[in-house]
Amino acid sequence: QVQLVQSGGGLVQSGGSLRLSCAASGDTVDNYSLAWFCQTPGEERKFVAAISRLGSVKTYADSVKGRFTIATESTENILTLQMDSVLSEDTAEYYCAANRAFHPVQTPRAYAYWGQGTQVTVAS
């Protein structure tokens, strides 16, 4: 089974950019559909972006369309989330996730494998 280890995150100014990474081990990212979720204290985990197996289909939450880009890099076996034009409301703990379905889904409970989480804080 796959293990996911996240890196990136931190403090960024509003309007700036940040890149999150999620390194896979134990299996290749091409065998999974992958997603990013975010969560703030007291709230449920929310869908941010997802990518199908082999990267043919990408979906985004309306709030991040045109600003965030999800991608996989097969040679490095990682999932990334490029966050541009960030807003204060993007502040959250971000999690990567994987499941074996071909098509990406937006429901957290559909994902069996999770990264450890990384905090993103946008300063206004």
Per-residue pLDDT of the chain (124 residues; tens, 9 = 90+): 899 999 999 999 999 999 999 999 999 999 999 999 999 999 999 999 999 998 889 999 999 999 999 999 999 999 999 999 999 999 999 999 999 988 889 999 999 999 999 999 999 8
Give me the pLDDT at residue 56, please.
87
Q: How far apart are CA 37 and CA 35, in angstroms?
A: 7
Q: How far apart are CA 19 and CA 70, in angstroms?
A: 10
Coarse DSSP helix, strand, coil percentages of the chain, rounded to the nearest 5 percent: 10, 50, 40
